[in-house]
Structure 1
Amino acid sequence: MDKAISFSINRPVSSRTQQEKNEQEEMLTFDNIKYDNREYIRFDVFLNVDNNVNANELDKAEFAGSYTSLPHVHRVGKNDHTATVTFQLAITELLEDIGLEDEETIAVTLVPKKGGEGISIE
């Protein structure tokens, strides 16, 4: 991920009742994030109504969270330094705040801040 990327996702359920929201938080999940764990990495996540977002003009976007990993080495001589993680963000309250709780599709923008060239997300 060497530059900001935007994509649309379909939400599992839109227009949930308050009771449903209280019982289960809606999660935005990124599976199989891979990176070199010897490097410092960080990327920010934004939710946006507009699918044609410009990474330098995120005025219509709402910050959802960040993923950060500090560099570390576990064992001397170990050749595989690739970390594979799952990252989740709770987004129920954010969707309510920006008026997207009734939308079936939302746009997500990932903006690399540090070490983005070494990150891959499936």
Structure 2
Amino acid sequence: MNDKLQNSLSLAGRLLLALLFLPAGIGKVTGFAGTVAYIASAGLPLPALGAVIALAVEILGSLALISGFGTRLAALVLAVFTLVASFFFHAFWAVPADQQYVTQLLFFKNIAVVGGLLTLAAWGAGAWSLDAQRKR
């Protein structure tokens, strides 16, 4: 694949992944009480702290992906975060049968996102990134 296409695809991939996390993080800021209540409803301890961690990971991770700064680390953190959140909030095996289909789709969508993030962590941000600018 030529470099120009590879660089543009890498940038597009980073932006599209960030598009999943940035609005979610901002939503947690603007609806903080609801986020805390949702985390508490999953039975997790310290839901307010969990909400702060989640919004920080989503917002800072998204900004890192968009800019291509600290991309590998941000992708790894987002991958772990997404994987853990999937087991707590999309546990399709623990919901009634009539809710399993959508919950299972959400779970496996998240698993696919984890795969994309791990690929980004492995290969880096590409030439159109602050990471690449720092190496020069």
Shorter-chain TM band: under 0.3
The higher relative CO (CA closer than 8 Å, separation ≥ 6) is in: 1
Whose helix proportion is higher, 1 or 2?
2
Whose strand proportion is higher, 1 or 2?
1
